[in-house]
Chains A and B, each alone.
Chain A
Amino acid sequence: MSLVAEAFVSQIAAAEPWPENATLYQQLKGEQILLSDNAASLAVQAFLQMCNLPIKVVCRANAEYMSPSGKVPFIHVGNQVVSELGPIVQFVKAKGHSLSDGLDEVQKAEMKAYMELVNNMLLTAELYLQWCDEATVGEITHARYGSPYPWPLNHILAYQKQWEVRRKMKAIGWGKKTLDQVLEDVDQCCQALSQRLGTQPYFFNKQPTELDALVFGHLYTILTTQLTSDELSEKVKNYSNLLAFCRRIEQHYFEDRGKDCTFLLLCIHGNF
């Protein structure tokens, strides 16, 4: 968005309070949505819960095409549509709600850096696994991505998306990586997050911020999504403070409010 457009949107956003009927759009939960999109959607949901803003989740097969940026999730608030966590955080801030106001400049810099780390490593690894790992592509991704559409559209769309993602991976230097290298990157990222979190309840001690929402979205989805193998979730399970972190946010912001969420209990206590 250009500077002028951004300022314009901020002004409109600030004019009205958060309505009761705000909705979040994502793909179909059971049959269609993929790992990376699910993580992004959960991150936004967690963020809005942390801000105490009511949101209704609506699943649509064409959510990706409805979105202004082509990415899910997007929220429909009043007569505005905003997609992706970054712009949504800005939008919510323009309405007067913010989780990171209490941070000083150095902490804000740190928060942004860690958010980029998650995007750079975790999100890219999820995309790699979904679209560049032959086993996952064949068994899971193609079928799920094309599920709402009739033949031959389902194949065409899936191949098109795969081509797009692979092109991007090649441009950023991930094209030549093997699955083991990608899993090692995930491990490095989780180790960094675990070290930064330490024994605190949230990344910036007592209050959660958008970073906590983003990390929760990704880690929770990795832990609870069934893939061809458990290697990815095993990497996260190595870090007990991250597991406790996910459980804490799930309990506090989802279960307590009667939201529909799969339970992590088996995951942590079963320790498999």
Chain B
Amino acid sequence: FRGSKGRPRQDGGPLGAQLLGRRLGAPIGTQRVLGGDGDVPILTTEDNIVSQPAKILNFLRKQKYNADYELSARQGADTLAYIALLEEKLLPAVLHTFWVENDNYFTVTKPWFASRIPFPLSLILPGRMSKGALNRILLTRGEPPLYHLQEVEAQIYRDAKECLNLLSHRLGTSQFFFGDMPSTLDAYVFGFLAPLYKVRFPKVQLQEHLKQLSNLCRFCDDILNSYFRHSLGDG
């Protein structure tokens, strides 16, 4: 589970999960991604292998690493709601930017991903993830009356931009979403936004929109500087 700044990921969380781990003081180093059953990201400890961001966060919580003790019940509920918003509205467009948009996928995502997993998985896994991403987008958003891929694409990017605007409104001028200390929600949002913000893509429409929302950019920069400084040089 590498913590690299330029790392693309499949769904909103490995960077976020790593952020949360670091914030809570759990020792999370960089480890090679094992193939497993093709699920990334993967967290490995002495005797456990956990995949998928939500499960990783749950795992950390059960190990008594929890960023949400100081949150009220209502803020905990808000966290769940905003995570649902991110998954429904932002995730399809992010998946598209990284895994479906041909220019981005072939010039950035695929080479980067393939270089970090062992052969022969490097030949199979990126293609599988790309197909999975397209499949997910079409099955969840490609319903009538949107019949063409271009119309679906237009709709998902529109939803993603609206979602970014909503996040920006919600964050306002605060440092984090719930006050002065980062919580699970900050980790999730960061996990989505940071790669989108920092990775250099040929096709950048969502990135351009994000860069106009200065408070979200400041949010990403703050977290990168505070928690990821020593791995900034890696990738």
Contacts and interface: CB of A to CB of B under 8 A. Distances in A.
Interface in A88-121: 105-106, 108-110, 112-114, 116-117, 119-121
A167 interface: yes
Contacts of B140: 168, 171-172
B151 interface: yes
Contact of A70 (B81, B87, B143): B143
A196 interface: yes
Contacts of A79: none
Interface in A19-58: none
B203 interface: no
B215 to A, nearest CB: 13
> Residue among B73, B81, B82, B84 with the most chain A CB within 10 A?
B81
B166 A117 contact: no
B74 interface: yes
Given A68-B144, A69-B144, A113 B77 contact: no
A193 B78 contact: no
Contacts of B77: 191-193, 195-196
> Residue among A69, A120, A167 with the most chain B CB within 10 A?
A120
B136 interface: yes
Contact of A168 (B139, B167, B172): B139
B166 A109 contact: yes
Contacts of B78: 110, 113, 196
B169 interface: yes
A192 B144 contact: no
- Interface of A: prevailing SS: helix
B74 A171 contact: no
Interface string A181-195: 000000011011101
A1 interface: yes
Contacts of B84: 113, 116-117, 119-121
Given A2-B154, A112-B166, A192 B81 contact: yes
A112 B143 contact: no
A188 B80 contact: yes
B6 interface: no
Number of contact residues on A: which range applies?
20 to 34
Contacts of B139: 167-168, 171-172
B81 A116 contact: yes
B86 to A, nearest CB: 9
A171 B151 CA distance: 20
A1 B81 contact: no
A37 to B, nearest CB: 15
Contacts of B172: 106
A195 B154 contact: no
Interface string B54-91: 00000000000000000001101110111011011100
A198 interface: yes
B170 A110 contact: yes
B189 to A, nearest CB: 12
A127 B145 CA distance: 21
Contacts of A172: 136, 139-140
8 contacts: A70-B144, A110-B170, A113-B78, A114-B81, A116-B84, A167-B139, A171-B139, A192-B80
Interface of A: 1-3, 68-71, 105-106, 108-110, 112-114, 116-117, 119-121, 167-168, 171-173, 188-189, 191-193, 195-196, 198
